[in-house]
Structure 1
Amino acid sequence: MPTSRILSWPLACCLLLASAACTAEETGQEEPRPPVPATSLAAPDTTGSSQAGDGVVSCSSAVDKLREPPDGYRIVGADVAVPDREVIEAQESEKPDPAARLFAKWGLVVRVGAVVDLRVGPGWEDRARVGWGRPAVPAVSVQVQACAPDDDQAQWLAFVGGTWVAQPTCLPLTIRSQGRTSQVRLGIGVACDT
């Protein structure tokens, strides 16, 4: 298969069918958070508690290597691409955590070599979770580790996972990379008001 067609058909369908993003804005300079140790990876919450810890997305959990973000995605900040569709469909997740009642599957696309932190917006810690990797574990925040390129053509990596929410909502996410912070809102089950 030509390297220009690295994106596999199943991943392309998954990324394009379940994608949505409403707004993004740069919010200024900020020092990145230190790496999250792998030992703090959030375990599935079986207590029904409304709090989850931090997670780490390892390079080995990438499902595809891309030259550029796929159609239906847009770059936020410099190192992350998120869906640009108006609504990401959400389904019952069967998770005991009330903040993870619904799941919206969407692939996260991250620039090769970038350390990226994603966190649910301030005040949303008891209403939403994020997670990517194998398996994708619901957490309040995740860090994608810096992945060294192993392909001269690949500039981006794709990870399977998504967002859990207590109810359909316009979810704010904070994205940090290279000392910069960006905000994005995703329509999870409902569109964001513009």
Structure 2
Amino acid sequence: MPTGRVLQVAESGEVDPAARWFAKWGLVVRAGAEVDLLVAPGWEGRARIAWGPSAAPAATVHVSACAPAAGKGQWLAFAGGTWVARAACVPLLVRSGGRQAEVRLAVGAPCDDADGP
């Protein structure tokens, strides 16, 4: 996840007020891993996420465990990103393998130590 920089946003054209601005970034998942990504509680009305060719902006995304293709690398890449109502430091929850972590994304605005949901 791109946590070391501010993601550039552009107007999305979405009618959902929580998805007015879009920051494009790719999601990379290890082949065979099952991952759930969620907009953190309290942010559901302000941010959306999605990856894949026909994915719609949502508060949660599930990536099913996919085996690596023969002769291909051990990582799978998906195009998509984060939508926001306005530029913000957006907390996302990542769950995989019985573990959970919170990741803060600078979507159009920097994250600093004082930021919170």
State if a TM-score over 0.5 links the two structures.
yes
* 1:139 pairs with one of 58, 73, 78: 58
Matched, 1:125 2:44: yes
Q: Structure 1-normalised TM-score?
A: 0.57
Identity of aligned residues (%): 58
State the SS of the aligned residue for 2:6: coil
Cα-to-partner distance string for 1:117-136 (whole Å, 9 max, x where unaligned) = 00001100100000000123
* 2:22 pairs with one of 95, 103, 114: 103
Matched, 1:178 2:102: no
Match of 1:88 in 2: 7
* 2:34 pairs with one of 112, 115, 123: 115
- Matches of 1:96 and 1:148, distance apart in 2: 36
Q: Check the 8 A contact 1:136/1:160 in 2, yes or no.
A: no
Match of 2:107 in 1: 188
Match of 2:77 in 1: 158
1:113 CA displacement: 0.5
Which 5+ residue runs of structure 1 have no aligned equivalent?
1-81
Q: Structure 2-normalised TM-score?
A: 0.92
Q: Check the 8 A contact 2:3/2:106 in 1, yes or no.
A: no
Runs of 4 or more, structure 1, over 2 Å off, are none
- Matches of 2:55 and 2:109, distance apart in 1: 23
Aligned-pair Cα RMSD in Å: 1.0
Bigger helix fraction: 1
Match of 1:54 in 2: none
Bigger strand fraction: 2
Which 5+ residue runs of structure 2 have no aligned equivalent?
none
